[in-house]
Amino acid sequence: MRIVAIVLVLTLMGIVLWNVVGAVTLRDADDSYIGRASEGSLASKRINAGGIALVREWIETKTRPSFDPIKILIYQVWYNAITRGYDLKMWIEPEEYSGSLEQYAIYQFENFVVLRIEYSRRNRVLVTSFTAAELEEALQPFVVKDQF
């Protein structure tokens, strides 16, 4: 029984370490990136480079990695199994595709964000100091008007 407890504790510690190690950054997201929201009040709208700069700033300064191993597991499973029902879902990618640049997805539910970093195979569960509604409101001036 003691071995099981030790393995469980080490597993939970590993989950937390995997989630918290490294800076939270949208490293490649620059003026060449655009955003596409598919859930929330911005659904079906494109966000210009100014909005991407805002998203990058908020993710890098107003979030922190979750230290709760149970929530990390729940949100990783939820994100991998459920594709609908988020408060906000947004893809951030280069306007002109480049295989060398990272793409990002933000899945926000309440005060948690799953930050997907393509193609690094690493998703981060973050705790936010903002709601999806607050981020969507801040992004309104950056919505691309002439959409196809």
Domain map of the chain by residue range? 2-142
Q: What is the pTM of this model?
A: 0.85
Length of the chain: 148
**Pick from 146, 96, 115: nearest CA to 20:** 115
pLDDT digits (tens, 9 = 90+) for 122-133: 789 999 999 999
Q: Following CA atoms 146, 117, 133, 145 in sequence, which dihedral angle do they give, to the nearest 10 degrees?
A: 0
- Distance of alpha carbon 42 from alpha carbon 20, whole angstroms: 29
pLDDT digits (tens, 9 = 90+) for 58-110: 999 999 999 999 989 888 777 777 767 789 999 999 988 877 788 999 999 88
The answer to whether residues 44 and 38 touch, using CB atoms and an 8 Å cutoff, is yes
User: In which band, very low, low, confident or very high, does the pLDDT at 137 lie, cut at 50, 70 and 90?
Assistant: very high
Tell me the HSE value of 94 on the side-chain side, using a 13 A CA sphere.
Answer: 10
Pairing state of beta strands 122-128 and 103-109?
unpaired
Q: Is the pLDDT of residue 120 over 80?
A: no
Is residue 32 classed exposed, middle or buried when 0-12, 13-18 and 19+ CB atoms within 10 A define those classes? middle
pLDDT digits (tens, 9 = 90+) for 26-56: 988 888 999 999 888 898 999 999 999 999 9
Backbone angles phi, psi at 110, to 5 degrees: 55, -125
**Pick from 101, 102, 106: nearest CA to 47:** 106
